Amino acid sequence: MEEYIVDEALLLLNSLYTGLVIMAVYDILRLFRRIIRHKYIIINIEDFIFWILAGFVVFFSFYEQNDGALRWYIIVGVLGGAYIYKASFGRFLVKYASKYINKIINIILKKPLSKAIMGLRYLFRKVVVDNAKKLRKKEEVS
């Protein structure tokens, strides 16, 4: 009897862990969306695929661990793990991580990239536009 109770307690802990992991992966997806903007339809498709995959992960992992018997505390454990994650790390992770990652990207990529684009525009104006003006003047004279 004690071994049965220990197995059930481990199953509950595993369901808590599964809820934590699912929400952490979802927050990574949300973080990715804040760094790279997505259209509304793409967000819906990503969410649909994510939650279908998350459902399969939950179902198959607990089917394997519990021989297909679905217990109410497994569902409560997954939801509880998701809630624990959201109440602790989840409140801050996406907000602050996206803020700092965007700053890093801005420093590393956007400023040098914008300067490079400005340089390319300058070269384009000097080479292409000025030569086009010279060609027009030559055609007008001829």
What residue ranges do the domains of the chain occupy? Answer: 2-141
Check pLDDT > 70 for residue 30.
Answer: yes
Predicted model pTM: 0.68
Q: What average pLDDT does range 2-24 have in this prediction?
A: 88
Q: What average pLDDT does range 45-63 have in this prediction?
A: 90
Between 58-62, 98-102, 111-115, the lowest mean confidence (pLDDT) is in 111-115
Q: Which helix (H) or strand (E) holds 18?
A: helix 2-35
Q: What average pLDDT does range 51-75 have in this prediction?
A: 83
pLDDT for position 57: 87
pLDDT, averaged across the chain? 82
| Cβ atoms of 84 and 20 closer than 8 Å | yes
CA distances from 19 to 1, 58, 117, 121 (A): 27, 9, 45, 51
Q: What average pLDDT does range 65-86 have in this prediction?
A: 84
Q: What angle do CA 56, 79, 44 make, to 5 degrees?
A: 55
* CA 128/CA 130 separation, integer angstroms: 6
What lies within 8 Å, CB to CB, of 75 at 6+ separation is: 15
